[in-house]
A and B are shown apart, each in its own frame.
Chain A
Amino acid sequence: MSIKLTTQAYCKMLLHAAKYPHCAVNGLLVAEKQKEKKKDSHSTPILCVDCIPLFHGTLALAPMLEVALTLIDTWCKENKYVIAGYYQANERTKDFRPNQFAEKVGARIAENFSEAAMIMVDSTRFTMGCYEPILAIYDHHENKWKCRDCNADCFEDWCEAQKITSALLEGRSYESLIDFDNHLDDLRNDWTNPEINKSVLHLC
């Protein structure tokens, strides 16, 4: 029932938070659609392969979130992905608990994907070196969100994730990160971030 993150997913989440240090940011995580649902598939973790940064600033408004969910859902279907999680970094560094809005969006995603996770970014531990994972992962159990310990096991390859995320932060790659807000400002801005994906692959 647990999710794991690839380097690309973790990277883009942190780059998004780094691009807007003075704002709240949020986004979605996507996983590859499983072909068969085995009865005892609870042991195999869901791998979140990518991250779609959504908004920065005022998060708690509905219309653009609905637009984003619709467009990204379509994109997911075309690419055999499924929306598997939601992440949020709050405006205040010291505030890393999920708020009502995060829980609502998380619940909405859980309606379509029962193993959906909600991830809160802990900005107090955010460093250029990325020495430790700075996420708090919440799983949905009986209408409540329960926090799970986040350590190296939550990553496909933590060493790689740490190295590459740190390298991209040093190189200020976050300046070219595109979120859905940027896309709405100029439709040419690509929220799939192909250039950053290339950089991640290049460093692997």
Chain B
Amino acid sequence: MSKNVLIIVFTEMRDKLRKWREDNHRNSEQIVDVGEELINEHASKLGDDIWIIYEQVMIAALDCSRDDLAWTCLQELKRQFPGSQRVKRLAGMRLEALEKYEDASKQYDSILQDDPTNTAARKRKISILKAQGKSAEAIRELNEYLEQFVGDQEAWHELSELYINEHDYGKAAFCLEELMMTNPHNHLYCEQYAEVKYTQGGLENLELSRKYFAQALKLNNRNMRALFGLYMSASHIAASPKVNATVKKANVKYATWATNQINRAYQVSYARCLL
């Protein structure tokens, strides 16, 4: 292969890894495939990028039970950044992947002794609780964490998921409300909130869910979940014996509108398929 082709291949691989990093994609097998080759064949060309790539590949390797690769990456990082808290956390994650939860916990505790505000270590400790199936404790710890770090969106989202898995939809809704307040233009939070309200059930929650499905659609008119959700909630409201004729009529209108939009969306997608 000519040198130019090799260079193109190398830059493509490096750019792919960057994109996956930026999108926070958990396609670990692909990251290991591309990353391992990049590290083994093209390390010299990567410059300072190599360190963040080692970190990315290490985490992906843990996901794929490739402890050999994870260990190699960890050693390189330890050598380059001795005493780094960030590398210590990676070592902790490796222990978690090996299910050595007590050792991992000790690792994170040592980070927190030096730096009590280290959010990454605290969140890893909560992940250990989750991995061990201790949902109630994980929820408690996460709530405590959020009292201190009230702006941590990732944590609010994680908490909402933990509550959903425990069928505590009211509290899940509260978490999503926090997220919607700080991210009013995020259609995904709106739509998830609507789904939680719908699941909670009852006429009031259904009407709220319909409103938020509609809001999600306003923010992103291609959100199919919001469109389907609008149809479902409006249909259920219209079918409810508790609503008066005006409300029923309005909701039938919303449901019909949603049906037409859904049909159009499918037609457009079939047309695109044929291209």
- Chain A residues at the B interface, C-beta cutoff of 8 Å: 21-22, 58, 60-64, 66-67, 92, 94-95, 100-101, 172, 184-188
**Given the complex of chains A and B, what is the CA–CA distance between A92 and B199 in angstroms?**
23
CA distance A22 to B161 in the complex (A): 14
Residues of A within 8 A of B199 (CB): 60-63
Check if A64 sits within 8 Å of B195, measured CB to CB: yes
* CB-based closest 5 A-B pairs: A187-B269, A62-B199, A61-B195, A67-B228, A63-B198
Residues facing A in B33-68 (CB within 8 A) are: 63
Interface residues of B in 88-121 (CB under 8 A from A): none
Complex Cα gap A188–B194 (Å)? 25
Contact A58 B161 (CB under 8 A): yes
Q: Are B26 and A64 in touch, CB under 8 angstroms?
A: no
Structural contact, B167 and A60, CB atoms closer than 8 A:
yes
A188's partner among B161, B201, B273 (CB-CB below 8 A) is B273
| B260, CB-defined interface residue at 8 Å | no
Cβ of B144 within 8 Å of any chain A Cβ, yes or no, is no
CB of B165 within 8 A of CB of A187, answer no
Q: Contacts A187-B224, A188-B269 hold; do A62 and B198 have CB atoms under 8 A apart?
A: yes
Does residue B12 face the partner (Cβ distance < 8 Å to A)?
A: no
CA distance A101 to B228 in the complex (A): 21
Instruction: State the CA gap A185–B223 with chains docked (Å).
Output: 8
Is B195's CB under 8 angstroms from A60's CB? no
Which of B232, B266, B272, B273 meets A66, CB within 8 Å? B232
- B interface, CB within 8 angstroms of A: 26, 29, 63, 131, 133, 161, 164-165, 167, 194-196, 198-199, 201, 209, 224-225, 228-229, 232-233, 265-266, 269, 272-273
Q: Beyond A58-B164, A62-B198: 19 further Cβ-contacts under 8 Å?
A: A58-B165, A60-B164, A60-B165, A62-B199, A63-B195, A63-B228, A63-B232, A63-B233, A67-B232, A92-B131, A172-B29, A184-B224, A184-B225, A184-B228, A185-B224, A186-B269, A187-B269, A188-B269, A188-B273
Smallest distance from the beta carbon of B204 to chain A beta carbons, Å? 16
Which residues on B sit within 8 Å (CB–CB) of A66? 232
**What DSSP secondary structure best describes chain B's contact surface?**
helix
Report the Cα distance A63→B272, complex, angstroms.
27
A188: chain B residues within 8 A (beta carbon): 269, 272-273
A185 to B161, CA, bound (A): 20
A95 touches B133 (CB 8 A): yes
A92 to B201, CA, bound (A): 28
Find out whether the CB atom of A64 lies under 8 angstroms from the CB atom of B161.
no
Residues of A within 8 A of B195 (CB): 61-64
Q: How far is the CB of A189 from chain B (nearest CB, A)?
A: 9
- In the complex, what distance in Å separates the CA atom of A57 from the CA atom of B201? 21
A34 CB, nearest partner CB in chain B, Å = 31
CB distance from A24 to the nearest CB of B (A): 8
Residues of A within 8 A of B269 (CB): 186-188
**With a CB–CB cut-off of 8 A, which chain A residues contact B229?**
63-64
Q: List 11 A-B contacts (CB under 8 A).
A: A62-B198, A63-B198, A63-B209, A63-B228, A63-B233, A66-B232, A67-B232, A95-B133, A100-B167, A184-B224, A187-B269
Contacts of A21 in B (CB 8 A): 63
- For B265, list chain A residues within 8 Å (CB): 187
In angstroms, Cα B97 to Cα A21, docked, is: 13
Residue of B nearest to A190 (CB): B273
- A163 to B: closest C-beta gap in Å: 23
Assess whether B232 is in contact with A92, with CB atoms less than 8 Å apart: no
B residues less than 8 Å from A64 (CB atoms): 195, 225, 228-229
Task: Write the nearest CB–CB distance from B193 to chain A, whole angstroms.
Answer: 11
Point out the residues of chain B lying under 8 angstroms from A95, CB to CB: 133
- Bound Cα distance A58, B194 (Å): 14
Pair A92/B233 contact, Cβ less than 8 Å? no
Query: In the complex, what residues of B have CB within 8 A of residue A184's CB?
Result: 224-225, 228
A30 to B263 CA separation, bound complex (whole angstroms): 25
Chain A min CB distance to B270 (Å)? 8
Q: Which residue of B lies closest to A23 (CB)?
A: B26
Docked pose: A95 CA to B26 CA in angstroms: 22
Chain A residue contacts of B26, Cβ below 8 A: 22
Closest to B191 in A: A63
Contacts of A60 in B (CB 8 A): 164-165, 167, 199
User: How far, in whole Å, are A187 and B228 apart by their CA atoms in the complex?
Assistant: 12
B198 & A187 in contact (Cβ 8 Å cutoff): no
